[in-house]
Amino acid sequence: MESNKPFSIKDRVKSFMYAFNGLKLFLTTQHNAWIHIVAAIVVVVLGFVLKVDRYEWCIFVFAIALVLVTEMLNTAIEFLCDKVSKEIHPAIKKVKDVSAAAVLIAAIAAVVVGLIVFVPKVLLLLPSHA
């Protein structure tokens, strides 16, 4: 979709306001959002405690973002599906199930990243490795 409208700071600010409104909506309506936020906080705290390096931080940032982004997209898809049809419809169920599966895959990947980074660091702290 092309626009011949000239660049406008006011329009850019409005677009950021829409995005922040979407973030607020996500955080105030989605219980899973808070589960992901708590998990992210745990990862960040453990990252500082276990002194992860900058490359591991980069991987954590991407893993956390992947989970949050997929959860947000899942939420957007669910909002749209609920608008299209309030009744249970087999096609809409498939759409919702697949979008939920995307979140599941992202969350599993994030857990695997956490295990790959944290397990060796925790093992080094155990008495048999001291």
Residues 6+ away with beta carbon under 8 Å from 71:
26, 30, 32, 33, 36, 103, 106
Residue entry with tokens 């992901």: 36
The active-site residue out of 56, 71, 78, 87 is: 71
- Beta strand spans in the chain (E): none
Give catalytic status of residue 87 as yes or no: no
The dihedrals phi and psi of 64, each to the nearest 5 degrees, come to -65, -45
Catalytic site positions: 71
